Structure 1
Amino acid sequence: MVNPVAGLGGPAGLKGSDGAAIQALALQRGSRSRAQERAERMLQVVAAAVPDAAIVTAGGPMGATAVSAAELRAVVTFDPPPHTDARDTRSAVVDLVDAGAGLVLFVGGDGTARDVAADLPRGVPILGVPAGVKMYSSCFATGPETAGAIAARWLAGELPVRTAEVLDVDEDALREGVVQPRLHALVEIPEVPGRTQARKAATPGSEAAAVAAAARGMARRLEPGVRYLLGPGGTIAELGRQLGLDLSPLGVDVVLDGRLVVRDASEAELFAQVAAGPARALVTVIGGQGFVLGRGNQQLSPRVIGALGTDPLLVVATEQKLIELAGRPLLVDTGDRGLDAALSGHVRVVTGPGTVAVYPIASPE
């Protein structure tokens, strides 16, 4: 089940994609959904493992288009209207389960997960392919190929299930900088340790001193004449406070020589800024998940990151966030597999005024 507009608001800097007005504005700003291509990537893995699989799905862009592109057989149980909304997602899922689907794969973000879970019968597991703007929930695979591999193993009858949370936040509040994830459902997902996404972990208040120290360390490393594209996150918000700048709560901002050049920039605005002179992306780590690109900062698109040159990323995080990953790498999920591979290896993470950790970074495949 594909949400055709999932992630549409991300590159446009709109903090989500819910509602026709937001979707129209995102399109006006030149944004596009990556749901179809991510669905195809997931299904190509399934097709390689189980080439004769028949996929029960919704019609057209809600599923059948991606199934056909992966050269699998689509069994269409729901015919969507030209413009779909949450009601169509819920209806499609009911029809999939009624047709005998034993695992519901969906492509979208937290809002899609919420709709999938709304009328889901007990005992039917789900698995999300991350393609939205908001992905706080723990019912997602770490990436499209990972979801496909899990689905193939599920078809072989090899996997147990675990309970996962479906969380979502109010997008209007999010645009005002208020992040209050709310639990909407508990669902079952196939269990593959390290291949499904943990829920986003908040930074505890006891870490305030460590956050301040990490931000102070990064502030000392900022160079004159370089445009810094500052992604969202508590550590970068603290960096802005130390620099005396009014950064956007959850957007991507551009800072040059201590001045705020663009606040809450869209993908197109970031690309224009990179073209204007030397620039680097400054990002932090999502607690509990390890993502540095591809979750909540889709304005930092493959086009933008690619234009930054051979050393595009600066990462800042507390030592505790790295410890909590228990050796798992930081993750980049830009949507461009070639770029993700180029970014993989090791990255320097500023953790304090005089401390830098060299930490592995990889694509979630």
Structure 2
Amino acid sequence: MKLGLIINPIAGMGGKVGLKGTDGTQILERAKKLGATEEAPLKAKAALRILAPLKHSIELYTYPGKMGEDEAKELSFNPIVLGTAKELTGPMDTENAAKEMLERGIELLIFAGGDGTARNIYNVVGDKVPVIGIPAGVKIHSGVYANHPKSAGEIALRYLEGDLDTKDAEVMDIDEEAFRDGVVTAKLYGYMKIPYIPELVQNQKSGGIATEEDVLKGIAEKIIEIMDNEPETLFIVGSGTTLRPIMEGLELPNTLLGIDIVKNRELIASDANERQILDIINGHKAKIIVTVIGGQGYIFGRGNQQLSGEVVKRVGKENIIIAATKDKLQSLDDRPLLVDTGDEEVNAMFSGYTKVIINYSTVAVHPIKGL
């Protein structure tokens, strides 16, 4: 069979440095100046390793250099390289790669990126051939992605072995400029076909419910009590509307879609990136407060890459506070909370069950799984 591989090497570079995406050359340059590194190629290799048993029985088509050639050859695949090499890649490179692969008759396309990459693929592929996304972006609202790079490899392997049906999955994206200003405006662009294994694919992101304002205030009151009882502890407050009432209750400015650090009711850092977080908590006790992405279940690895594996390791699993409404947990249909920090050792720390604050007086116990 013929498999296409496209890697958007700049996808996700803005995450750890707090830029919430890398759409646009100016944002990309800013990310590089802040010390961002390419992570999409590493995630693509995690998927490709799962496909190793088929390396001699499939035709693998890819694009030059960091768009797939380097990673495929490093893992001893013998790819057919299309196009011409370039130092930087942009949306047109992704679309050109997809177009050339379609012309070669690929039967499955596996790609690494975020929602912007999925849109580029959709512009060319539509429903012509099945695709599966390797999650590597900062924002992953689309349903065409596996829940983890290794899962993408497992899905592709099963499909190429002739063992899977397909289903239509959403291609979603948001306005990054509005996102950086704290406004989430998600838009449905269309559907692509994906090989479907329910437990390995990502649900479309669902939002909170406005009528739960009182519940959210109760969650905030409980967490503020915890913070007041530990005045010497640094509290790293994650992103999301569930946690916004905490900062409002403290009468502190809130970076809705970023990471803030609070100590003894004072704002220590606003919209902090990974390096700033590590510098600030060095030698100090710290706790992380995170919420759950509704419909997906992630507490780390989607929209809060600033809370990297290294940050989680420094803080310690025992110092993580998870808050979510009961409805958010129920939207998971008993699926576990997910941890995808990019560090397998850290991910492996999370298994079994964890406590989740669901209102002022109640803590729920929910399954959790490191990917």
- From 36, 42, 48, the equivalent of 1:43 is 48
Does residue 363 of the first structure (1) align with residue 355 of the second (2)?
A: no
- From 146, 149, 158, the equivalent of 1:153 is 158
Question: After the TM superposition, which of the residue ranges 153-162 and 341-350 deviates more from structure 2?
Answer: 341-350
Match of 1:24, SS? helix
Which residue of structure 2 aligns with residue 2 of structure 1? 7
Which residue of structure 2 aligns with residue 290 of structure 1? 297
Superposition pairs of residues 169-180 of structure 1, within 5 angstroms: 169-180=174-185
| Structure-2 change in CA distance of 1:193 and 1:121 (3 Å) | closer
1:22-54: per-residue Cα shift (whole Å, max 9, x none)?
111111111112101100000001114665433
1:279-323: per-residue Cα shift (whole Å, max 9, x none)?
011100000000000000000111111111352411011111111
Match of 1:298, SS? coil
Inter-partner Cα distance in structure 2 for 1:62 and 1:179? 29
Match of 2:272, SS? coil
Does residue 239 of the first structure (1) align with residue 282 of the second (2)?
A: no
1:227-276: per-residue Cα shift (whole Å, max 9, x none)?
11111011111111112111112100101111111000011100011104
TM-score, structure 2 as length reference = 0.95
Inter-partner Cα distance in structure 2 for 1:312 and 1:53? 46
Which residue of structure 2 aligns with residue 219 of structure 1? 224
TM-score, structure 1 as length reference = 0.96
Contact 1:216 1:352 in 2 (8 A): no
Superposition pairs of residues 283-322 of structure 1, within 5 angstroms: 283-322=290-329
Which ranges of structure 2 fall in alignment gaps of 5 or more residues?
A: 1-5
Indicate the percent of aligned positions where both proteins have the same amino acid. Answer: 37
**Paired amino acid for 2:217:** A
Does residue 351 of the first structure (1) align with residue 352 of the second (2)?
A: no
C-alpha displacement of 1:339:
0.7
- From 331, 341, 346, the equivalent of 1:339 is 346
Superposition pairs of residues 1-365 of structure 1, within 5 angstroms: 1-48=6-53, 52-222=57-227, 223-364=230-371
Inter-partner Cα distance in structure 2 for 1:109 and 1:90? 14
Contact 1:77 1:99 in 2 (8 A): no
Inter-partner Cα distance in structure 2 for 1:212 and 1:51? 57
**Paired amino acid for 1:247:** N
Contact 2:240 2:291 in 1 (8 A): yes
> Where do 4+ consecutive residues of structure 1 move more than 4 Å?
none
Match of 2:194, SS? strand
RMSD of equivalent CA atoms: 1.4
Question: After the TM superposition, which of the residue ranges 182-191 and 141-150 deviates more from structure 2?
Answer: 182-191
Contact 1:53 1:73 in 2 (8 A): no
C-alpha displacement of 1:330:
0.2
Inter-partner Cα distance in structure 2 for 1:331 and 1:203? 18
Contact 1:218 1:352 in 2 (8 A): no
Which ranges of structure 1 fall in alignment gaps of 5 or more residues?
A: none
Which residue of structure 1 aligns with residue 3 of structure 2? none
Inter-partner Cα distance in structure 1 for 2:334 and 2:55? 32
C-alpha displacement of 1:126:
1.2
Contact 2:254 2:260 in 1 (8 A): yes
